[in-house]
Each structure stands twice: as structure tokens, then as C-alpha cells.
Structure 1
Amino acid sequence: MDQGVAVSKTKKKFPVSLGFGLLIGCLGWLIPYCGLAITLLPAKIGQIDPTHKVTWVATFSAVAMTVAAISNIIMGALSDRTRSRFGKRTPWIVGCTIATMIIFYIMSMINDIKMLLFLYAIYQIALNGVVASLVAFIPDRVAPDHRGTASSFMGLGSTIGNYGAGLIAAHFIIHIQFGIWVFAVFAFVMEAIALWLIKEPGNRDEPREQLEKAGDFVKSFAPPIKGTHDFYLALFGRLLLTAGSNMIVGYQLYIFTDYMSLNSGQTTTNISLVSSIMLIAGIICGVTAGPLADKVGNYKYPVAITTMLVGIGAFFPFFMAKPWTMIVYALIAGIGNGAYNAVDQALTVSVLPNPDTAAKDLGILNLANTLGQIVGPVIAGVVISSAGYRTMFPVVTGVCLLGGILILLIHRSK
């Protein structure tokens, strides 16, 4: 264990600089990702092939899901095994962020749908290199008693990223290329600030398990097997919540234009309003939920309740194809997601089966986020194509309620 880990786990005071580094680092990858995946990529696909845009969005999600499923685990395992003067997380965050900038620039310049699909798949590798490494700073550097607070910082970043991205990207719908450039530069600047605040120490002297046989190499990348009851319940609970949320978010643009029949100006206004409501509600709940959970001493019940709350909010657009139903959804889901994001990371850290493989195992857990953001639009695409937009909303409700039930089955509460 490196010196930074040993010192941090003995401190009674929460490392505030690290907390803000986690928040800014989360914004650095999530805002560009959501801005691209939720708004700018569907808009660009709509320009290239408007006739088959729904099918293409689902195809992009399916391909990205496959790549993410592999790369998230591998990147986390490689990060765990890295030894350098800059630590084991920093090199991967820097390298993958630079790769993201290059990929974004190329994506902004091309109009070939198949090449765009290929680049989006490559982007998933770089994205997961950043995510798997960044989230591992919590078990690396934060004492157990402060992990709810650390989770709040990341949860706040997640809330701002998820909904702030839509607010920003909505203004680039007719300037897609420039919007992608803005997100590329944003990613680099924010990750640079985050790493400066985190100040990961070098770890050249940290011991590393030797891989003497081919089986040892495979094992170092394999999902955990022993003591994993809570681990996999947390994983699938998170997957269902994220998938349910992104069934709506992934088709938000088309919900307003195709389901509610709004023009481009009305769509921009309503996307901005929905994003603003979810952002404000999420921030208010996100700031308070993590520290409160630390004091109460329970993470399981807040995560389960907020997961179900998102599902309840998602049912309202089923009643009527009017913008006000999305406003109600935004308020309820904003509260639920804000509180969820603030506490969920602390719960997942508490169910890790082995601290020595934290990044790999968190990479598997965080794969639920990536897969959920991809699986959600795939499921939504199938439901919309076969039964229409209205049917999608009760499906979202059912998915989120099931996710909450899985969380309730976890044995650990903290």
C-alpha cells in the first residue's frame, strides 16, 4: 500500500481537496459523454440518416455496450497493477483523456455513419479508462467513515454532469461540430484540474502480485467469485436504475419532437427546462444525502428508495403527451437521482470483496453505469419501434422498481 493510502485512512478529517478533485474529475468525463451520447450524437445521426435514426441510435448503443463491457474491467485491472512516479490512476486518466480529445475531433469532422460508429466504439475504451481509474480514488484514499461524503462529491458531479450536459448540449443542436469541440476541450481542462487537486503520490515501491502463469493473468482480469452476494446485487440494482433512467434520457430529444410533436425551438426550451429542474433538485439532494447517510449509518435503504422514486416519476409521461408531464418527471427523478448518486458510490465501495483489486471490481460495478446508459436506449428503441413511445414509460417504472428490490436484498447496510 502506498504512503498516500496509509496516511489518508488514518486521518479523521475528510480530505476536502480530494473531494473536489473527484467532483471535477467526474464532470470532466461525464458532461462530454452525456452531451455527445444524449444530444449531439443523436442530432448528428439524424442529419446523416433521418429515416433510420431510431434504429441507428439503438445500434450505436449496442456496439458501445459490447466494447464497454470488456474495456471497463480491463482498464480497471491495468490501473490496479500500474506502478509509476505519478501513481497508478493518474497515467490512465491523462492518456485516456487525450485520446478522447482526438476521437471527438475526428467524430466532429466526418459524415459517414459507419465510421462514426467505429469511432464511438473506440471512444468507449478511452472513457472507461478514465472512469475506472477515477472512482478507485475512493477506496484508495478515503477512510470508511467518510465514504458517504466522498460519494456525495462524486454524486454531485454525476448530477451536474447528467443534467448539465443536456442544458449545454441543447444550445449546440444546430452547431454540432462546434459543440463536440467544446466538450473535447472541456474534458482535458477539467481532468487536469481534478488531478492537480487529488495529487496522487507515486507508488513505485508498492508491491504487486506477480503473474507467473497464463492463468494468473486471466485471473487478474476476472470478476470476483468469493463473498460476492452483495456485490452483484449492487451491480444489477445499479444497472437497472441507470438503464431505466436512460431509456428516457437517451430518447429525450425524440420524446419532445416525435411523441409530443414540438418544433425545434420548443424542444430546445423544454430540454433546457427539464435539465435545469433535474440539475437543481439533484444538487440540493446530492449535497445533503451523503453526509446524512454517514451520520445515520445506513446506505442500503436510501439507495433502494431513491431507485424506486425515479421509476415513479417516469410513469407520468404515460398519461399524456404534453411537456408538463416531463416537467413532473424531471422534478421527481431529479430528487431521486440526486440522492441516489450521493449515496450509491459509498454502498458499492462497502460491498467490494477485495481492496487489492478495487479499481477492477469498481470497474465492474461502474460497468453498470456504462451499460445502463447504453442498454437503456437499446431497450427503449425496441419498445418504441414495436409499441410506440407511450409504452416505454411504464416499462421504465417496472425496471426501476425491480432495481430497488435488488438493493433491498443486500445484507450490508454500510
Structure 2
Amino acid sequence: MATAEPAAEQRQTLRFLWLYALAAAGGAVSYVPFLTLLLPVRATEMVGDGNIDLLAYIAFAGAITASLANIGFGWLSDATGTRRPWIVAGLVLSCVLLVSVRTTSNPSELIGLVVVWQVALNMMLAPLAAWAGDVVPDRQKGFLGGLLSFAPALGAASGALVTLPGLAGPDERLVLVAALVAGMVLPVILFGRPIPMPDLTEPVTRLKNTPPRFPRGAVARMWLARLLVQIAEAALFAYLLIWLTGIDASFTDSDTARIFALVLGLSVPLALFAGRWSDRRDRPILPLAWGAGVGALGLVIMALAQGIEGAIGGYLVFGLSTSVFLALHSSQTLRVLPKPATRGRDLGLFNLTNTVPSLIMPWLTLALVPLFGFSGLFFLLAGLAALATVLLLTMPKSPAPSN
């Protein structure tokens, strides 16, 4: 007669992991095409040449709102002891508000609606991120990170889909995005049925001879390492086209989009391989250190590049390595958080590493590029990525328990 697998050895079902990855990708689809394509079009229709100022106000207000809402709804899902009702409520409200953007008639209405939409969106995203920590054991977190690499790729692909010529008008595209998000998030709610993992949700009560695998300082190192890499990522996302056209004036936005698509596509199998390797070898942090380190090398290549081939090659090295880093970091962060009871709130604090770089990066660029060119900026960003590598390679571990 077969015996039940011990809780420490139990695995989550592949059905849940794949459906969860689909829902996480739905989270990316909920904001990537809107913020990068549909919102700029709406702003241009509304104010014409004043669109840059309007988008700047929206980006600033949205980043602040998203940061606070992510922490708040993470905490609320902790306090109520449930994730799925918050996810469903956030899904419904954010989709309704997204479709309502087409009813705005002036900049104040548009800014206000986007701010409220950010609140509803993070009502969905914060509990969704914490749910993985409740039900995915450590031995599968590398694989989970690999699956999460689908999210940015599908987010970008959704933008290309909804803007296909002749498919839908500007207003109908908002409806199409909302339908895509619902179709990607709801399956895990309805059919996921994860195996309960009580050891991942019960309060931490450690015996004297069983210390945590990572001490508390590991959380700060993981947070700072992601922040440093995200600053570099944000700078490249914002200024890659400008830099490349400065090297070769014939380079177009379409060429840049193809490079982004290539990086996102190649990063998926690479992240899956690295994640499975980290699970089998029980080395969760090493792929992160390699990702940050190779990313620093890519930035150095970019800083030294004299022609378009070297520039593109350097970016491919940087983009692939940091895409893998960010995907795996999202799942391995769940491993080092100290308290299951505050997992949602703590992930909200980690989410600041996604929003704060957009506030830091413009000032770095304005300070360095006029004096030293983009090479100076890339050398600084390489230093930040190298520092992230050192933080991860030197992360202390608790000693093995004594017998």
C-alpha cells in the first residue's frame, strides 16, 4: 500500500504550476500593452503635443499608487488568510476600469482613472504573487521561476496582437486586453486546485537545532540586488533606441522591437533550464549571481562598442542574462522571506524594486550622459550589476544543524 509523501518532499502539481504561470502572464498582459501602447495613443488623442508631459504625470502618479497598493493588498491578503477572493475582485475591477478609459474626456479624468486602475490592478497582482509562496515548495521554486519568464514575453506579444492593423479600433483594443487578462487569470482560480502545503503557511516555529537556511540579512541582499539590476534594466528599456540610433542613424524603432522580442523569446528556455538546474543542484542563488554578473559584462561590452554589431551583441548578452535573473529572482525571493504570515506585505516591499528604478534612472541619465555619453552611464550600470553579483555570491547561509 502506497504511503503519503512527507510534506517536506511533496511537490505541487504541474497543472497548477502551468496555470499559475498563465495567470502571472495575464498579470503582465494587464498592464504592458496598455501602458506602452494604448495609453500613449489615448494621451495623444487627448492633448496632442502635450502627450509627453501628460504621460510623465501619469507615470509618476501610477508608480506611487502601484507601490502603496501592492503593499496594502499584500498585507490585506495576509490578514484575511486568503488570496483568491482578492485576486478575483482585483481582476473584475481592473478590467472594468481599463475598459472605462475610453470614456475619459480630459487629462484630469485620465490621470484619476489610471490611478484608481492601479489600485484595482494591484488588488489582483499582490495576492497572486503571494499565492505561489503558499503552495509551491522550495524544491520547485527554480522551475516556477523559469515558468515566470513567460510573463514578459506574453506581455509584449499581447501588445503586438491587439495592435494588429484591422483587428480592433483604439477603444475595442481596451476590451480585447481585458478579455485576454480574464482568460489567462481565471483558469488557475477555477481549475488550479493546488495541493495544500501547510508547512509553507504555518507560523514559523523553529527548533533550536534547525536554523533557517538563510539568515535575515539574506532578505536585504536579495532586495538590494534586484534593485541594482532593475535600475540598469529600466535605463536600457527607456534609452536603448536613442543610443542605437546615435551609433547608426538607419536603425529604427522596428529594429529595436525585434531585438526586444528576440531577447524575450530566448530568455524563456534559458530561464527554464537555469531554474530546473537550480532545483536539481539545490543552488537557488547561484543562477541569480551568474545572471547579474553576465549582465554586467554585457553592459561593459555596450560601453566599449564602436559599431552597431557590437552594440547589439552587448545588449543581447545583457538582456538575456538579466531576463533570466529577474524571472528566477521572483520565485527565489519566496524562499528567503522569513514569515509566512506577512508574505504578501513583504512581497509588496520587494515590488518597490520594480517601481523605484523609474524614479532613480532619469536622474542618473541626466547627470552622466551629457558629460560622459552613454558609455559613462553603461559603465556605472555595469558597476551596479557587479555589486549585485557580489551581494549574492557572498550571501551568508545558516550553519547546518548539529546532530
Structures share a fold, TM > 0.5? yes
In structure 2, the residue matched to 1:375 is 359
Paired AA for residue 332 in structure 1: V
**C-alpha displacement of 1:171:** 4.6
1:192 CA displacement: 0.7
CA distance in 1, matches of 2:46, 2:398: 49
Q: Which AA in structure 1 matches 2:179?
A: V
Kept after mapping to 1: 8 A contact 2:365/2:377: no
Instruction: Indicate how the Cα distance of structure 1 residues 310 and 44 shifts in structure 2: closer, same or farther if over 3 A, else same.
Output: farther
Q: Deviations over 1:161-205 (max 9, x none)?
A: 4543564467579964443332222111111123234236899xx
Distance 1:171 1:315 in 2: 37
- Report the aligned-residue RMSD: 3.9
In 2, the alpha carbon distance for the partners of 1:356 and 1:162 equals 31
Q: TM-score, normalised by structure 2?
A: 0.78
> Structure 1 residue 370: deviation in Å?
4.1
8 Å CA contact retained: 1:313, 1:329: yes
Secondary structure of 2:283's counterpart equals coil
For residue 284 of structure 1, report the CA deviation from its aligned partner. 1.7
Q: Which residue of 2 aligns with 1:358?
A: 343
The aligned residue for residue 78 of structure 1 is 76
1:272 to partner: Cα distance? 3.5
> Residues 66-120 of structure 1, C-alpha deviation per residue, up to 9 Å, x if partnerless?
212211111111111225xxxx111111111112112212224435333322222
The answer to whether structure 1 residue 180 and structure 2 residue 181 are counterparts is no
For 2:58 and 2:270, how far apart are their aligned partners in 1? 33
Contact 2:369-2:377 within 8 A present in 1 as well:
no
CA distance, structure 2, for counterparts of residue 281 and residue 304 of structure 1: 19
* 1:294 and 2:288 aligned: no
Aligned pairs for 1:106-255 within 5 A:
106-110=100-104, 112-154=106-148, 156-161=149-154, 163-165=156-158, 167-168=160-161, 171=164, 176-199=170-193, 228-251=216-239
Aligned length, in residue pairs: 380
Structure 1, gaps ≥5 residues long: 1-5, 210-226
Structure 1 residue 42, shift from structure 2 partner: 3.8
Question: What is the rounded CA distance, in whole Å, between the counterparts of 2:165 and 2:371 in structure 1?
Answer: 31
Query: What is the CA deviation profile of residues 214-241 of structure 1, one whole-angstrom value per residue up to 9, with x for unaligned ones?
Result: xxxxxxxxxxxxx632112211211222
Q: Could you report, residue by residue, the CA deviation over 1:40-63 in whole angstroms, capped at 9, with x for unpaired residues?
A: 334544555565555544433322
The 5 A counterparts of 1:318-397 are 327-372=312-357, 374-375=358-359, 378-379=362-363, 382=366, 390=374, 393-397=378-382
Whichever residue aligns with residue 192 of structure 1, its letter is L
Distance 1:73-1:316 versus aligned 2 partners, 3 A rule: same
Q: TM-score, with normalisation over the residues of structure 1? A: 0.76
Q: Deviations over 1:328-365 (max 9, x none)?
A: 35522342134214421343122111122222212222
CA distance in 2, matches of 1:244, 1:168: 28
1:223 alignment partner in structure 2: none
Inter-partner Cα distance in structure 2 for 1:253 and 1:185 = 31
Query: How many Å separate the matches in 2 of 1:176 and 1:383?
Result: 38
Map 1:259-298 to 2 at 5 A. Answer: 266-267=252-253, 269-298=254-283
The answer to whether structure 1 residue 34 and structure 2 residue 32 are counterparts is yes
Give 1:305 deviation, angstroms.
2.2
What is the alpha-carbon distance in structure 2 between the residues aligned to residue 259 and residue 183 of structure 1? 36
The residue number in structure 1 matching 2:86 is 92
Taking structure 1 as reference, are residues 49 and 55 closer, same or farther at Cα in structure 2, changes over 3 Å only?
Answer: same
2:52 maps to 1:68: no
Which residue identity lines up with residue 340 of structure 1 in the other structure? Answer: F
Larger radius of gyration, structure 1 or 2? 2
The percentage of aligned residue pairs carrying the same residue is 19
1:135 is displaced (CA, Å) by 1.8
Q: Do the aligned partners of residues 105 and 346 (structure 1) sit closer, same or farther apart at CA in structure 2, a change above 3 Å counting?
A: closer
Residues of 1 paired with 2:55 and 2:246: CA distance?
Answer: 15
Q: Quick check: 2:101–2:113 contact (8 Å CA) kept in 1?
A: yes
> In terms of mean alpha carbon deviation, does 168-177 or 181-190 score higher?
168-177
Residues 280-304 of structure 1: CA distance to partner in whole angstroms, max 9, x if unpaired?
Answer: 2111211111110112221222212
